[in-house]
Amino acid sequence: MLNINDKYIDFELPDQNGKMHKLSDYLNKGNRIVLYFYPKDNTSGCTTQACGYSALVREFTKKNTIIFGISKDSVKSHKKFEENHDLKITLLSDESLNVLNAYDVYKEKSMYGRKYMGVVRTTYILSEDGTIIYANDKVKAKEDPLNILEIL
């Protein structure tokens, strides 16, 4: 996991509509950025978290904060996820795992004694200049959106 006071690692990824987003294009413009990394579209915890952020998107906008949800799912999967749950947030696809690895969220996990590689649910808040001002890799999907809003 990256640490508080680390500088952001720039990236460019496609969203659920195929539009490219370069992180540095959003910085130094008075916006803070929430990067939340999640394991898989249309799963229970990930749906709860995405719907929570989506429901609070106006509140985040009032706080000059942009939300990006990032997973290794495809653009097509993200589009279906957005449509299934009427999401109002931007979902970025990192099928290459480059960003997931750069932000140190793609790690060995274990379920029922079986080890596998996967995304550790992690949330970062970046200041206007891209400095990490919050980092958490012990995220509870249901509580995360409201907790982040309160921190801001």
Q: Which residues are known to be catalytic?
A: 46
Distance CA 47, CA 27 (A): 27
Residue type, 87: L
According to DSSP, residue 84 is labeled: H
Distance CA 19, CA 12 (A): 10
- Length of the chain equals 152
